[in-house]
Structure 1
Amino acid sequence: MNHKLLIIMLTLISFITKGQTNGPEMADVMRSEGKIYVVIGVLSIIFVCIVLFLIYIERKLSKIEKEIRK
């Protein structure tokens, strides 16, 4: 039983160590090429649009709620 457990643990450790890379991360590569600013810009635009849409919906709902109360 102990030998099987030891073999399984060593196999798992070898899989974990093979998964680690020494190369640069994606953010570092994108930052060095200047593409990270494009990603940040697109995400910012999407976030602002979602916030504006939620504000618009909230105003419409508040008008409908006022009409229902009258």
Structure 2
Amino acid sequence: MIKRRLSSILVFLTFFSALQAQTGDTDFMRSTGKIYVVVAVILAIFAGLVLFLIYLDRKLTKLENQIKDND
């Protein structure tokens, strides 16, 4: 379980660094200050997904334990 989470984080960081390596439109976004808004929105969405997955994992674990106890 922990290995999956660590590998997911590493994939995300690799993807995020690849996005930062691109220039072009990002220079315009940086000059107007809107790049921070884009980064904040992406991070908020990612944080929401992570929190939802943690919640879902806990709920499924609880259900699995109930099923094991009933058998």
| TM norm. shorter chain > 0.5 | yes
Shorter chain as denominator, the TM-score bin is 0.5 to 0.7
Residues 1-70 of structure 1: matches in 2 within 5 Å? 25-70=24-69
Q: Which runs of 4+ in 1 moved over 6 A?
A: none
Shift of 1:27: 0.3
Distance across 2 between alignment mates of 1:44 and 1:63: 29
Greater radius of gyration (CA): 1
Distance across 1 between alignment mates of 2:35 and 2:24: 12
Pick the structure with more helix per residue: 2
**Unaligned regions of 5+ residues in structure 2, if any?**
1-22
Given the two structures, how large is their TM-score scaled by the length of structure 2?
0.64
Given the two structures, how large is their TM-score scaled by the length of structure 1?
0.65
Distance across 2 between alignment mates of 1:31 and 1:59: 40
Distance across 2 between alignment mates of 1:51 and 1:26: 28
Shift of 1:25: 1.1
